[in-house]
Structure 1
Amino acid sequence: MASKRPAPEFSYAPIDEAFGSADEQTWEEWNPTEESIRPVRGRHRVAKQRGGLARSSTVLGVGVIAAVGAGGIATAQGGKPPVHISMPDLSAVKDSLPDAKSLPGVGALISDDSDDSSGTSASPLTEAGVSTADAAQGTTAGEALRARIMQQAEQQQDQAAQAEAAAAEQAAAKKAADDAAKERDAATAKAAAEKKKAEEAAKKKAEAERLAKLAKSFTLPVSSYTITGTFGQPGSMWSSGYHTGLDFAAPTGTPLKAIHSGTVKEAGWAGAYGYRTVLELPDGTELWYCHQSSLNVSAGQKVTSGDVIGRVGATGNVTGPHLHLEVHPGGQATGVDPAPWLRSNGLTI
């Protein structure tokens, strides 16, 4: 292993304790070059020294620290002079620049005119961001910021409370309107129901009065009877295949009465109907009284409701004594069910 050679001694001017001027201190300049420094080979080797000045980085570091402590790195006599920087004269450029107050959007920011057309005004602030009024009262920037934050928070709370109150008021108004509408609808429905009920009651009353009046002008053909055959019953005993009238069974000789006032259109023998009387009413409806044992009226005779026009018998195609009654509206050949017709004229069978 190669041994380290001791660094040669070098002399330097002592540094004054009071850090004297650079002229009073003399330094030797060391300008290392690539040729003067050999690359380090191996471990723990030091390059050769030339010119009597140590190339050790340790010694160089000590020199640099000493130079900084003295007020800067000193240069050797005959070194390069300091570089001077010259600034251009901007007076001519300044005269040609426009006035800042004339720039759009800038004049309002720097104008100190009290009559600001923008309508914005603010208290002057100190360098710490506190208004002069707050600064005069001893308010710090933190306190002023806290006060502004609290003020904004209170404003936001007030706005939220106002919005909530407005929403609640609107909801209450809507609910009241909905309730009023429901009450109106309920009242309208109730009134309509009562009106309909009253109309139905009046209609029923009028119908009852009408039937009562008709009952005085209409009467049943037999006072005492038993219904033994109804309209529409099917059977082979009828030529049409079904029963065409309403049968009132009663003993032979029981009086038959005119159901309503009218004119006798026919009175005589009618084949399977036996002895038959046809009574024509004022509206053209024909009433057929069939299977009579005897006739009490003749054709063209006027009768009144309740008049006896014949008697119960068993003539024609029958199985026993009874009145076979048929109703032919408008004198048409096909008859209708006598039961609902009788009820429509106030009669109950």
Structure 2
Amino acid sequence: MAFIRATGKHRRADRPARTTRKVAGIATLAAGGVVASVASPALAATDVAPAHDTGLQQAVVLGDELAGHVAAQADAQRAAAESAAAQAKAEALAKKQADEAKRRAEAVHKAKVRAARDAERKRLNTFVAPVADSYISTGYKASSSLWSSGSHTGIDFHAASGTSVHAVGSGTVVEAGWGGSYGNNIVIKMNDGTYTQYGHLSSFAVSVGQHVTPGQQIALSGATGNVTGPHLHFEARTGPDYGSDIDPISYLRAHGVNV
């Protein structure tokens, strides 16, 4: 007898077929080594497909490298800046020290120049005796028939022939030659406007127009002219000629010479 499948909502006869298919599918999965429920995906598998490469990891690596590079560059720039600052500081210090040393050297040089100038000025304004280590053998205004005026117009310094005769101060030679009774003589116009005379010389060491300084050798003593023996006749005058004499001892002492 034939059965006819009912129509409508009573379709129970289909379910076994679907159930059978599900069971078959499970069996197939079991044969492949995967156990999974029908309603959910497999919970475990021996081979897992690699995750899709999104580039995130590579970006992180590149970011780290870039950050390291920037940090290294910043460190290098900072080190360079510190080195430049240190060098600039050292150069500034060296320049300051060099300037200070130069300033001190210039100050020392100026002090030396000033001291030398002062010493030279003092030397030029200093007076000395016309003959060193000597003494006055005949005084000023001594009376004697040996002098035409009847008195001595200067002073005589004891000096053997050939003794060095010195300018008593700074001045200019206005006469160097024969002076009659004075024998060979030299007359010097001093810087202060006075005159000095040196007589009875044996030889000259200067000439007319020559500038002389204190203590400079101008001649050698002798016994030329109207004399009784070798000596140096010294006069101080207000003018270059005979008759303008002044006290030579007072003149020398006024200029600091101990006679």
TM-score, normalization by structure 1: 0.38
Q: Is 1:288 the counterpart of 2:197 in the alignment? A: yes
Counterpart in 2 of 1:337?
247
| Offset at residue 334 of structure 1 (A) | 2.1
**Quick one: which amino acid aligns to residue 340 of structure 1?**
S
Unaligned runs of 5+ in 2: 1-121
CA distance in 1, matches of 2:229, 2:238: 28
CA distance in 1, matches of 2:124, 2:176: 26
**Quick one: which amino acid aligns to residue 343 of structure 1?**
R
CA distance in 2, matches of 1:227, 1:218: 17
| Offset at residue 227 of structure 1 (A) | 1.4
| Offset at residue 283 of structure 1 (A) | 2.2
Does the aligned pair in 1 maintain the 2:123–2:214 contact within 8 Å?
no
CA distance in 1, matches of 2:188, 2:152: 20
**Quick one: which amino acid aligns to residue 220 of structure 1?**
A
Unaligned runs of 5+ in 1: 1-212
Q: Deviations over 1:13-52 (max 9, x none)?
A: xxxxxxxxxxxxxxxxxxxxxxxxxxxxxxxxxxxxxxxx
**Quick one: which amino acid aligns to residue 293 of structure 1?**
S
| Offset at residue 321 of structure 1 (A) | 0.7
Counterpart in 1 of 2:225?
316
| Offset at residue 308 of structure 1 (A) | 0.4
Q: Is 1:222 the counterpart of 2:222 in the alignment? A: no
Q: Is 1:274 the counterpart of 2:212 in the alignment? A: no
Q: Deviations over 1:290-326 (max 9, x none)?
A: 0001111110011111110001100000011110001
Matches within 5 A, 1:96-115: none
Counterpart in 2 of 1:235?
144
Does the aligned pair in 2 maintain the 1:215–1:345 contact within 8 Å?
no
> SS where residue 288 of structure 1 aligns?
strand
- Greater relative contact order (Cα < 8 A, sep 6+): 2
Q: Is 1:298 the counterpart of 2:218 in the alignment? A: no
CA distance in 2, matches of 1:331, 1:291: 17
CA distance in 1, matches of 2:137, 2:124: 24
Q: Deviations over 1:207-266 (max 9, x none)?
A: xxxxxx579621111112231101111111100001110100111101001111110000
Q: Deviations over 1:48-100 (max 9, x none)?
A: xxxxxxxxxxxxxxxxxxxxxxxxxxxxxxxxxxxxxxxxxxxxxxxxxxxxx
Does the aligned pair in 2 maintain the 1:225–1:250 contact within 8 Å?
yes
Counterpart in 1 of 2:62?
none
CA distance in 2, matches of 1:331, 1:216: 21
Query: How well do the aligned residues superpose, as a CA RMSD in angstroms?
Result: 1.6
> SS where residue 223 of structure 2 aligns?
coil
What percentage of residue pairs aligned between the two structures are identical? 47
Q: Is 1:307 the counterpart of 2:205 in the alignment? A: no
Q: Is 1:265 the counterpart of 2:174 in the alignment? A: yes
**Quick one: which amino acid aligns to residue 253 of structure 1?**
G
**Quick one: which amino acid aligns to residue 267 of structure 1?**
A
| Offset at residue 277 of structure 1 (A) | 0.4
Change (3 A) 1:328 1:249: same
Does the aligned pair in 2 maintain the 1:283–1:330 contact within 8 Å?
no
> SS where residue 246 of structure 2 aligns?
coil
Does the aligned pair in 2 maintain the 1:224–1:250 contact within 8 Å?
no
Counterpart in 1 of 2:50?
none
CA distance in 2, matches of 1:261, 1:298: 15
CA distance in 2, matches of 1:331, 1:312: 21
| Offset at residue 330 of structure 1 (A) | 4.2
CA distance in 2, matches of 1:341, 1:233: 17
Matches within 5 A, 1:1-349: 217-331=126-240, 333-349=243-259
> SS where residue 217 of structure 1 aligns?
coil
